[in-house]
Amino acid sequence: MPLLYYKTREQIEAYLKKPAEQKLRWLEAQMEFFYKAMPPKAKRIRGKLQKPGLRLLIRGASLSKEILKERKQSKK
């Protein structure tokens, strides 16, 4: 069953009125939660994607050699 995320117009308007700092703190808390819920393999891939100098082209699906190597090792 897909997760549904529904907010009323009033809830959206109330959120828009909150200070940017409060929104950023909420976003950071969400990102921390999602990271803790990630499986180990997803964390390794995410870590590699955050390394400086790594080029990832979404449309061309051009992944670095490290990520391709990770894929090959996970299939074994």
pLDDT 10s digits, 26-47: 888 988 898 899 999 988 888 8
CA-to-CA dists, residue 70 to 30, 37, 66, angstroms: 27, 20, 6
Quote the pTM value. Answer: 0.48
Residues 54 and 27 in one domain: no
Asked if 48 and 64 count as a contact pair (C-beta separation under 8 A), the reply is: yes
Report yes or no on 29 lying in a domain: yes
Asked if 56 and 63 count as a contact pair (C-beta separation under 8 A), the reply is: yes
* The pLDDT of residue 48 is above 70: yes
Tell me the chain's radius of gyration from C-alpha atoms: 18
CA–CA separation, 34 and 12 (whole Å): 22
More confident residue, 61 or 24: 24
Residues 56 and 75 in one domain: yes
Q: What is the pLDDT of residue 63?
A: 47
Report yes or no on 75 lying in a domain: yes
List the domain range (segments joined by +) for residue 27: 7-37
Report yes or no on 28 lying in a domain: yes
CA–CA separation, 38 and 1 (whole Å): 19
Report yes or no on 2 lying in a domain: no
More confident residue, 4 or 63: 4
Counted domains in the chain: 2
